[in-house]
Structure 1
Amino acid sequence: MSLEDEELLKWLGIKPGKQKAINEVTYYTCLKMLAETMGKLPLKFYKTEGEGRVRADPDAGIGLLMNRPNPVMTPATFWTTIEANCQHYGNGFAWIQTVYIKKGKYGGEYKIKSFWPMQSDCVQVIMDDTGLFGNAGKLYYRYSDPKTGKTYTFSQENVLHFKTWCSFDGIMGKSVQDILRTTVDGLGESQNYLNNLYKQGLTASMVLQYTGDLDPKLRKKLQEEYTELMSGPKNVGKVVPVPIGLTLQPLNIKLTDAQFYELKKYTSLQIAGAFGIKPNQINDYEKSSYANSETQQLAFLVDTMLYRLTQYEQEINYKCLAEKQRIAGYFTKFNEKALLRTDAKTQMDVIKTAVNNGIYTPNEARSLLDYPAKEGGEVLIVNGNYVPLTKVGAAYQKKGSEEEGQQ
């Protein structure tokens, strides 16, 4: 880009140079929504029993993910950081730090000590096609730690790797900012234009007409003088003297004529749609009501977060659980019900219905409300008038037989 082009862009209110996607409010809001949603979902540990599942006591590794992944991060901070890196760069990484534990005379085992997020822009993923490291077809992760300046290489077993849905090789994910760069940049430039318009006191650019020819230095000096007189909020409403032979002609480019608001809103909805974010989540309530917002929240869980949670759970179960644990039916699962919390009345109606129909025990219902368990509350209860499907109508058949016998 030439110097003249840069000057022209500045004059038009467009800041030249590469814009950071995260500086655009819609992009930032979508990133915040996905990262915070991931951070507020608690991780649970279960064991399969028959056709159902029961809560199980986590081992040391899973216990870290549930309570304190590393000495300086809570689980909410840890998962929020991973998801923010994943959405912004297309991939999220976490190093599984292990320690060697001696066990007997002939061998030992490794124990998970902590989990550390890695900045995605500092990670290089290498595929060992030729078996250079002894295992052909495996992935290795080279991490240049920005804090220490050192470079580390980890095998794929020691790294949790999460990616976006968009991956053309199944290994590396693509981010929204990479795929929709022109759209994201365009929305950022529209905000820059609006900011520059505010700085000018919402005064449009003008053309200064004069008769004759001026030296370039005099012309530039004249331009600077009138720019200083007419730009900025402090100069709004000022009377500007114009010498004989000079004419000021405003360039009335109205935002309404350019449909600035409509285009900006449409572009924002496009970016939100690419992230899987619903309109009400970026504060667009134009076509939303209370009931509609609740429906959109459910759609956000099903359409967007369910895939994210499934990918996270599969990666954790494979790399943080031993094979014998997986065979025995142990698994981790995020509690997605945290997204579907309703108002107190609706919540109470749902719990009451579940208890009365033998789905929850009274103590399980009390646990959902953060109340302590009570004696005798571990028994499922149902209405005494209920009968099994196989015995529906049995009472009438018995009554009919008795009447026939009396005759």
Structure 2
Amino acid sequence: MVDQTGRRVYRRRRARRWVWIYGSPGWPEGGRIMSFFVRSRARRNQAFDEPFWKDLATWLPSITGKAVTMRTAIQVATVFACCRVIGNGMAQVPLKLRRESADGRSRIAAKDHPLYKLMALRPNSWQTSFEFRQMLAWHVELCGNAYVFKNRSVTGKMLELIPFAPGQVVARRDEYMRPLYDVIGLDGTMRTFTQDQVWHLRGPSVDGFQGLEVIGIAREAIGLAMATEESVAQLHKNGIRNSGVYSVEGTLDKTQHEALSAWVSQQFGGLKNTGKPMILDRAAKFLNTSMTSVDAQSHETRRMQVEQICSFFGVAPIKTGFADKTATFASAEEFNRAHREDCLAPRWEAFEQSAAINLLTDAEIEAGYYWDFVEEGLLRGSATQTKDVILGYVNGGLLSTNEGRALLDRNPDPDPASDRLRVPANIVGATATVDVQK
């Protein structure tokens, strides 16, 4: 038989009971997770033999010779900080499913819809909403794409949202340009899913199908940051002493050379020997052959790489903890506003639209359902500023007293007058008995 979503359904007997199986044997039982996610002892795990795992594990070439992968890239402080700032901005702002009335005058939280609880509280059995959205943001920022399996019941009800690892999915298109997703399970088996089964969240894209991989595009900037950090670390490992040539008169045999090399390393190498004077005999001379960190401008290079990497992610350097001398306490508010408008707001809009077309049906969209990031949680300033803003809204007739109390997480006032708008008396035609739309 075929369910209402167009998927073929089989009825098989399992463990003295009948269960519904989607697509083919081994499909979700009772609307739960697929069997190929479970490790199989009878089957050799071949998942890591697939080509895309090798592509994910191998490094992208950079001129510095450093291996730039997702794992090594997040070890760079700036890359990690950019992902953290974006991920927290996507996760800490409440994401609610709302419904707009037919006349467009009221918008209420659609708490009776199954997706409301999934996205606002628990998308699956092991993740919170914060963890889920933060993880999707990291996937998009690092790999350009995030993939989520939409686990539905027989009736089409959304039961849970199961995220895939970026290297677990190979996205492609068939001859009709329809998206297909080949997913490798933990037991090495592969399943192909269609567009209605996978939520594909993309970052900036050139072809409109696959998001651009920031790690690959910014590999030179990240590789240079890794190489500079390693060179400075090696400099400190050697006690901030320059490398050079220890020259002696005469010829040293192999035994003498090894003994002298070990003696110099033991007596003058490392942090414990920093500042220790070098005493030479046999008319020996020490010739410096390396540059200091000042000569190499390591500090300036590291500062430049912070700005370069931040520009790839679209994050203001000050948000990553980079202290710029031009930034002041007075300008911090403007930096935060620019971060919300230029960095987070486009990502909120992209997430809302992607969730709408992938998680909601056409009928639900026509009925007025939509996703909304409640960004007011990031707009709260100091206690004085918060008081002035709320008072301005209440006294200006934009919010009722109880709505202002709700912004402060306070219980409503039982007085019915607190649910009415305070329309200023100096406005022509004003009335004080206007009821607030519920």
The TM-score normalised by the length of structure 1 is 0.82
Q: CA deviation at 1:190?
A: 0.7
Q: What 5-or-longer segments of structure 2 have no aligned partner?
A: 1-63, 431-438
Q: CA deviation at 1:42?
A: 0.9
Q: CA deviation at 1:292?
A: 1.2
Question: For 2:124 and 2:138, how far apart are their aligned partners in 1?
Answer: 18
Alignment match, 1:323: 362
* Same amino acid, percent of matched pairs: 25
Q: CA deviation at 1:215?
A: 5.3
Q: CA deviation at 1:212?
A: 4.6
Alignment match, 1:37: 89
Secondary structure in 1 matching 2:423: coil
CA contact (8 A) 1:46 1:53 kept: no
Q: CA deviation at 1:378?
A: 2.1
Q: How many residues align?
A: 359
* Structure with the larger helix share: 1
Alignment match, 1:99: 153
Decide whether aligned partners of structure 1 residues 388 and 285 sit closer, same or farther in structure 2, where only a CA change above 3 A counts. Answer: farther
Decide whether aligned partners of structure 1 residues 144 and 303 sit closer, same or farther in structure 2, where only a CA change above 3 A counts. Answer: same
Alignment match, 2:43: none
Deviations 1:53-111 (A, max 9, x none): 412323112321111101111100000111111111111111111121xxxxxxxx311
Decide whether aligned partners of structure 1 residues 181 and 378 sit closer, same or farther in structure 2, where only a CA change above 3 A counts. Answer: same
Alignment match, 1:62: 116
Q: CA deviation at 1:184?
A: 0.7
CA contact (8 A) 1:125 1:142 kept: yes
Alignment match, 1:25: 77
Q: CA deviation at 1:287?
A: 1.5
Alignment match, 2:329: 290
Alignment match, 2:41: none
Question: For 1:148 and 1:379, how far apart are their aligned partners in 2?
Answer: 61
Matched, 1:73 2:122: no
Question: For 2:65 and 2:256, how far apart are their aligned partners in 1?
Answer: 26
Matched, 1:386 2:427: yes
Question: For 1:263 and 1:16, how far apart are their aligned partners in 2?
Answer: 17
Alignment match, 1:250: 288
Q: CA deviation at 1:317?
A: 0.9
Structure 1 segment 306-385 matched on structure 2, within 5 A: 306-375=345-414, 376=416, 377-385=418-426
Alignment match, 2:180: 140
Structure 1 segment 221-236 matched on structure 2, within 5 A: 222-236=260-274
Q: CA deviation at 1:242?
A: 2.3
Secondary structure in 1 matching 2:191: strand
Q: CA deviation at 1:312?
A: 0.8
CA contact (8 A) 1:97 1:115 kept: yes
Q: Which amino acid aligns with 2:152?
A: T
CA contact (8 A) 1:89 1:121 kept: no
- Of the structure 1 ranges 68-77 and 232-241, higher mean CA displacement relative to structure 2 is found in 232-241
Decide whether aligned partners of structure 1 residues 18 and 258 sit closer, same or farther in structure 2, where only a CA change above 3 A counts. Answer: same
Matched, 1:303 2:349: no
CA contact (8 A) 1:26 1:282 kept: yes
The RMSD of aligned alpha carbons is 2.2
Matched, 1:273 2:323: no
CA contact (8 A) 1:95 1:159 kept: yes
Alignment match, 2:21: none
Secondary structure in 1 matching 2:98: strand
The TM-score normalised by the length of structure 2 is 0.77
Matched, 1:154 2:203: no
Secondary structure in 1 matching 2:239: coil
Q: CA deviation at 1:348?
A: 1.1
- Of the structure 1 ranges 348-357 and 290-299, higher mean CA displacement relative to structure 2 is found in 290-299
Q: CA deviation at 1:252?
A: 5.5
- Of the structure 1 ranges 230-239 and 307-316, higher mean CA displacement relative to structure 2 is found in 230-239
